[in-house]
Structure 1
């Protein structure tokens, strides 16, 4: 059986808005000088939401290994009780695969190509694939919800796809 191909599109704030926030030092973002003019602060770039059920924000590093080619997407996950932000720490592009919150609608899955310096913040409930490094092992700074002591809240649902697909990497260079 031949799996369908999906080509990634460039990651932009407008196209990604139904799924979350693009985190980047963009001229349209609110920004201003601090530290006696030595630093430009790009301010309030993502709606971090981790407080449901008294959650707390945690900062982690994720080390992502590229999937073997052809990159085949077989499942998505979501975090129903919090957002999850990823900021790449390296100089490689990476893939972002998302679908809107609610029941998983496979026809609404979108594939984006994120450039170095572009992070993403998935809104609570947004379906997404785990971080998809390209070409090399890549590190990401992640801000998400930490467990509250004694908590049994399930904040990660996985859903296998009825129709897996391959990401068309033709023309993507690192």
Structure 2
């Protein structure tokens, strides 16, 4: 059993960026009426262009069964929540071109993530309700998707104490 951990920038750094409000690289704009939290993710595309899509995902529950992971070799992929629904993020280290043992993180409804190019990750998994996400990723020629289905699914449980806002 894999226990989902609260999403933190340090714990997730090997797989991507956590996009959330911080004082890092923050500046005041719009005549003092807006705080810009600047350049929070490293978008990385081998070619093509950045595109914005909407993903409308069906609700998932704990315990969650992880049986499929994918990766995108030509570009990073950012998931930005639009309707206040937490997101289960599962990622795997790469082991010689194959996904290793999964790790699971539970993103609060006010956190977004940017997965590094080539990071093995589970499919969209909004927790508790249907989730709408803006997705920033590579649009271009060629197949930017590799999938692996696990012979035996991993079971993921909720964190002992979720830090939901």
TM (norm. structure 2) is 0.90
8 A Cα contact 2:9 2:17, kept in partner: yes
Alignment of 1:11 with 2:7, yes or no, is: yes
Alpha-carbon distance change, 74 to 98 in structure 1, aligned in 2, over 3 angstroms: same
- Post-superposition offset of 1:103: 2.1
Alignment of 1:20 with 2:20, yes or no, is: no
TM (norm. structure 1) is 0.86
* Residue 32 (structure 2) aligned to one of 37, 54, 57: 37
Question: Normalized per residue, which structure has more strand?
Answer: 2
* Residue 103 (structure 1) aligned to one of 89, 97, 107: 97
- Post-superposition offset of 1:67: 3.2
- Post-superposition offset of 1:106: 2.8
Alpha-carbon distance change, 105 to 57 in structure 1, aligned in 2, over 3 angstroms: closer
SS in 1 for 2:149: strand
Mind listing any 5+ residue stretches in structure 1 that lack a counterpart?
A: none
Cα distance in 1 for partners of 2:157, 2:145 equals 27
- Number of residue equivalences: 162
- Post-superposition offset of 1:18: 0.3
Structure label with greater radius of gyration: 1
Cα distance in 1 for partners of 2:62, 2:37 equals 36
Mind listing any 5+ residue stretches in structure 2 that lack a counterpart?
A: none
